[in-house]
Amino acid sequence: MTEHINKQFDQDLEAIRSRMLQMGGLVESQIRDAIAAFLDAAPERAARVIAGDTKVNDLELQIDNELGQIIVRRQPAASDLRLILAASKIVTDLERIGDEAAKIARMAKDEQAPAGNHHRIVPLHHISEVAIGMLRKSLDAFARLDAAAAARVAAEDVAIDEEFRSIIRQLITFMMEDPRTITASLQVVWVAKAFERIGDHAKNIAEYVIYIVKGRDVRHIPLAELEKEALGR
């Protein structure tokens, strides 16, 4: 009987996990489309991203709802509950990454956005790739419940923050050289900021993965300790 319940519980979790990875894939494609729309000044593509955010939001509500149902139906023990509660937090971070994609898309629809103005927007390519890479790796770590991989994602957040600061320094130089470009440069600032935020959310997801695997909450411990926690034991 207990084995039977366990099997049902495992099936529930497997269903949730694949749904979360589906949501993660959707969010990733939202980010890709948003930055492409911004860089190519493609307002229709941007409009599709904005419309697509509803789908992301719906998935958040559905998955949260299913997580609640699992708790009521299966009355999980503490260790399983840990996974369910962390999954619910991960879903919120995914939804907020979706919000950042929608924000970038809204800026892509702005006529003052500096498309084609290459020297200013080139660094956005790179920071977007770093952010998307962090998201993908955090979801892979979740799929495989791999704490060591999750710790590597969390460590990457330092690099994306440095990248963000470097973009801002460059933009300040451009703005000082030609103050007429200040408004357009600030658009680039907001897009860069959105990617820095996406990096933060990917880091949060990675920390929840470590929590699920190791059972210790690592949300607020220093990076070096976090890596030890994830690798050692």
- Which residues bind to a copy of itself, rule: CB under 8 A? 54, 57-58, 60-61, 64-65, 67-69, 71-72, 75-78, 81-82, 85, 88-89, 92, 168, 172, 175-176, 179-180, 182-183, 186, 189, 193, 217, 219-220
DSSP 181: G
- Closer to a copy of itself by CB, 135 or 192: give it: 192
Q: Which two tokens stand for residue 201?
A: 């959310």
Say which residues have a Cβ less than 8 Å from residue 76's Cβ, sequence separation at least 6: 9, 70, 84
- Closer to a copy of itself by CB, 36 or 221: give it: 221
Using CA atoms of 69, 136, 27, 100 in order, give the dihedral in degrees to the nearest 10. Answer: 110
| Contact indicator for 188, 172 with CB cutoff of 8 Å | no
Q: How far apart are CA 11 and CA 90, in angstroms?
A: 20
- Closer to a copy of itself by CB, 44 or 77: give it: 77
- Closer to a copy of itself by CB, 36 or 168: give it: 168
- Closer to a copy of itself by CB, 11 or 69: give it: 69
For residue 21, give Cα distances in angstroms to 16, 63, 88, 151, 154. 9, 11, 13, 19, 19
φ, ψ (nearest 5 deg) of residue 65: -60, -45
Helix, strand, coil percentages for the chain (3-state, nearest 5): 90, 0, 10
Q: How far apart are CA 125 and CA 21, in angstroms?
A: 24
For residue 124, the tally of other CB atoms under 10 A from its CB is: 19
| Min dist. Cβ of residue 71 to a copy of itself (A) | 6
| Min dist. Cβ of residue 151 to a copy of itself (A) | 18
| Min dist. Cβ of residue 176 to a copy of itself (A) | 5
- Closer to a copy of itself by CB, 37 or 194: give it: 194
| Min dist. Cβ of residue 225 to a copy of itself (A) | 14
Q: Which two tokens stand for residue 15?
A: 């269903």
| Min dist. Cβ of residue 92 to a copy of itself (A) | 6
- Closer to a copy of itself by CB, 42 or 166: give it: 166
| Min dist. Cβ of residue 80 to a copy of itself (A) | 10
| Min dist. Cβ of residue 110 to a copy of itself (A) | 12
